[in-house]
Chains A and B, each alone.
Chain A
Amino acid sequence: MKPNLSWKKIKGWSLFLPVVALLLVMMVNIVYDAVNGNNPLSFFVITLQQTTSNGTILYGRIIDILNRGSEAAILAIGMTLVVSSSAGTDISVGSVMSLCASFCCMLLAGYGVSSTTTLAVPLIVGVLGGLLMGAVCGMFNGTLVAYFRIQPMVATLILFSAARAIGLLLCNDLIVYVRNPSYAAFGAFMGIFPTPFVITAICVAITMVILKKSALGMYIQSVGINDKASRIAGLNSKRIIFLTYVICGLFAGIAGIVNSSRITSADSNNIGLYLEMDAILAVALGGNSLGGGKFNLAGSIIGAYTIQAITTTLYALGVSAAQAPVFKAVIVILIVAIQSEPVRNFFKKQSAAKHVKGVA
Chain B
Amino acid sequence: MKKKLISMLLTGVMAASLLAGCGGTAAPAAPAAPAAEAPAEEAPAEEAEEKVEEVAEDVEEAAEEVKEEAADAGSGELISVGFAQVGHESDWRTASTKSCQDVFSKENGYDLSFVDCDNDEAAQKEAVRSFIEQGVDYIIIDPIIATGWDTVLTECEDAGIPVIVIDRTIDDSDKYVSWVGSDFLTEGKAAGEWLKAYVDAQGIKEVNALIIQGTIGSSAQIGRTDGFQEIADREGWTVLDKQTGDFTEAGGQEVMESYCKSYAGKFNVVICENDNEAFGAMTAMDNAGVKYGPGNDVILISYDACTAGLKEVQAGKITADFECNPLAAPTVEGVIKTLESGGTPEAQILVPDNWYALKDAIVDFSVDGNAQKMIEVTDEVIEAQY
Which A221-271 residues sit within 8 Å CB-CB of chain B? Answer: 259, 262-263, 265, 267, 269-271
Given A52-B291, A262-B253, are A318 and B241 also a contact pair (CB < 8 Å)? yes
Query: Which of A50, A54, A59, A270 sits near B250, CB closer than 8 Å?
Result: A270
A49 vs B287: C-alpha distance when bound (angstroms): 8
On whether the beta carbons of A318 and B89 are closer than 8 Å, the reply is no
Cβ contact within 8 Å between A270 and B89: yes
Mask, B267-290, CB within 8 Å of A = 1, is 000000000100110010111111
- A306 surroundings in chain B (CB, below 8 A): none
Q: How far is the CA of A168 from the CA of B251 in the complex (A)?
A: 20
B288-330 vs A, CB cutoff 8 Å, 1 = contact: the mask equals 1111000000000000000110000000000000000000000
Of chain A, the residue at the smallest CB distance from B290 is: A52
Kindly provide the distance from the CB of B93 to the nearest chain A CB, expressed in whole angstroms: 9
A267 touching B262 in the complex, CB below 8 Å, given contacts A51-B288, A53-B286: no
Q: Is A359 an interface residue when CB atoms closer than 8 A count as contact?
A: no
A68-B254 in contact (CB<8A):
yes
With contact pairs A64-B258, A175-B91, A316-B261 given, residues A263 and B253 touching in the complex (Cβ less than 8 Å): yes
Residues 241-256 of chain B, each 1 if its beta carbon lies under 8 Å from chain A, else 0:
1111010111101110
A318 touches B289 (CB 8 A): no
Interface string of B94-129 (1 = CB under 8 A from A): 100000000000000000000000110000000000
Q: Taking the complex as formed, is A35 at the interface, i.e. its CB lies under 8 A from any CB of chain B?
A: no
Find out whether the CB atom of A173 lies under 8 angstroms from the CB atom of B94. Answer: yes
Q: Does B75 contact A (CB under 8 A)?
A: no
List A contacts of B286 (CB < 8 A). 51-54
Q: Is B90 an interface residue (CB 8 A)?
A: yes
Once A174-B94, A318-B243 are accepted as A-B contacts, the answer to whether A263 and B254 lie under 8 Å apart by CB is no
Greatest chain A CB density within 10 A among B91, B249, B279, B286 is at B249
Q: Does B162 contact A (CB under 8 A)?
A: no
Q: How far is the CA of A267 from the CA of B249 in the complex (A)?
A: 9
Q: Is the CB of A315 within 8 A of B258?
A: yes
Known: A49-B289, A267-B250. A320 touches B90 (CB 8 A): no
A321 to B246 Cα, complex, angstroms: 10
Please, which residues of chain A bring their CB within 8 A of the CB of B280? 263
Is A305 an interface position by the 8 A CB rule?
no
A315-B255, A318-B241, A318-B243 known; A269+B288 contact, CB < 8 A: no
Flag whether B196 is at the interface (Cβ < 8 A): no
- Inter-chain contact B243/A321, CB cutoff 8 Å: yes
Q: Does A350 interact with chain B (Cβ within 8 Å)?
A: no
Number of A-B contacts (CB under 8 A): 93
Is B89's CB under 8 angstroms from A269's CB?
yes
Task: State whether the Cβ of A356 lies closer than 8 Å to any Cβ in chain B.
Answer: no
A322 at the interface (CB under 8 A from B): yes
Which of A269, A316, A320 touches B262 (beta carbons < 8 Å)? A316
Q: Does A57 contact B (CB under 8 A)?
A: yes
Chain A: CB-nearest residue to B245: A321
Contact of B258 among A50, A52, A269, A312 (CB under 8 A): A312
- Of the candidates A64, A68, A114, A175, the one having the most CB atoms from chain B within 10 angstroms of its own CB is A175
Measured in the bound complex, the distance between the Cα atoms of B91 and A189 in whole Å is 29
- Whether A262 lies near B88 (C-beta < 8 A) is no
Q: Are A177 and B308 in contact (CB under 8 A)?
A: yes
Residues of chain B contacted by A322 (CB below 8 angstroms) = 216
Interface size class of B (residues with CB under 8 A): 35 or more
- Measured between beta carbons, the chain B residues less than 8 angstroms from A262 are 250, 253, 283
Does B244 contact A321, Cβ atoms closer than 8 Å?
yes
Task: Tell me how far the C-beta of B275 lies from the nearest C-beta in chain A, rounded to whole angstroms.
Answer: 11
Q: Is the CB of B91 within 8 A of A270?
A: no
**What residues of chain A lie closer than 8 Å to B279, measured between beta carbons?**
263
Given contacts A59-B288, A173-B88, A267-B249, whether A320 and B242 have CB atoms under 8 Å apart is yes
- B249→A265 contact, CB < 8 A: yes
CA distance A271 to B255 in the complex (A): 16
Chain A's closest residue to B240 (CB) is A318
**List of A residues within 8 angstroms of B213 by Cβ:** 321
B50 to chain A, nearest CB (A): 55
Q: Is A115 an interface residue (CB 8 A)?
A: yes
Out of B88, B216, B308, which one reaches A269, CB within 8 Å?
A: B88
In the assembled complex, the CB of B356 is this many whole angstroms from the nearest CB of chain A, namely 18
Residues in chain B near residue A49, CB distance under 8 A: 287-289
A315 contacts B289, CB within 8 Å?
A: no
Residue of A whose beta carbon sits closest to that of B255: A315
A114 → chain B, closest Cβ, in Å?
7
- Chain A residues near B290 (CB-CB < 8 A): 52
Q: How far is the CB of A206 from chain B (nearest CB, A)?
A: 26
- Report the separation of the CA atoms of residues A311 and B289 in the bound assembly, to the nearest whole angstrom: 23
> B223 an interface residue at 8 Å Cβ cutoff?
no
Nearest chain A residue, comparing its CB with the CB of B116: A173
A40-61 residues with Cβ-Cβ distance < 8 A to B are 49-54, 57, 59-61
- Asked whether B87 is an interface residue with its Cβ less than 8 Å from the other chain, the reply is yes
Which residue of B is nearest A68, CB measured? B254
User: What mask results when residues 213 to 242 of chain B are scored 1 for a CB within 8 Å of chain A, else 0?
Assistant: 100100000000000000000000000011
Q: State the CA gap A53–B282 with chains docked (Å).
A: 11
Interface centre among B244, B250, B289, B308 (most CB of A within 10 A): B250
Q: Do B249 and A263 have beta carbons less than 8 Å apart?
A: yes
- Interface code A310-348, partner B: CB below 8 Å = 1, 0 otherwise? 011001101011100000000000000000000000000
Is B257 interfacial (CB 8 A cutoff)?
A: yes
Cβ of A320: which chain B residues have Cβ within 8 Å of it? 242-243
Most buried by A among B249, B254, B287, B307: B287
Interchain CA distance A64-B90 in the complex, whole Å: 27
Q: Which residues in A have their C-beta under 8 angstroms from that of B250?
A: 259, 262-263, 267, 270-271
* A321 CB contact (under 8 Å) in B216, B253, B288, B289: B216
**B-side interface residues toward A, CB under 8 Å?**
87-91, 94, 118-119, 213, 216, 241-244, 246, 248-251, 253-255, 257-258, 261-262, 276, 279-280, 283, 285-291, 307-308
Contacts A/B (CB < 8 Å), 29 sampled? A49-B288, A51-B287, A52-B285, A52-B286, A52-B287, A52-B290, A57-B287, A60-B261, A64-B261, A115-B308, A174-B88, A175-B89, A175-B91, A263-B280, A263-B283, A265-B249, A267-B89, A267-B248, A267-B249, A269-B88, A269-B119, A270-B246, A271-B250, A312-B258, A316-B262, A318-B241, A321-B213, A321-B243, A321-B244
Known: A64-B258, A173-B88. 6 other contacts (CB 8 A): A49-B288, A52-B290, A168-B88, A189-B287, A263-B248, A270-B251
- Give the 9 A-B CB pairs with smallest separation, nearest first: A315-B258, A321-B244, A263-B249, A173-B88, A52-B286, A53-B286, A269-B89, A270-B248, A51-B287
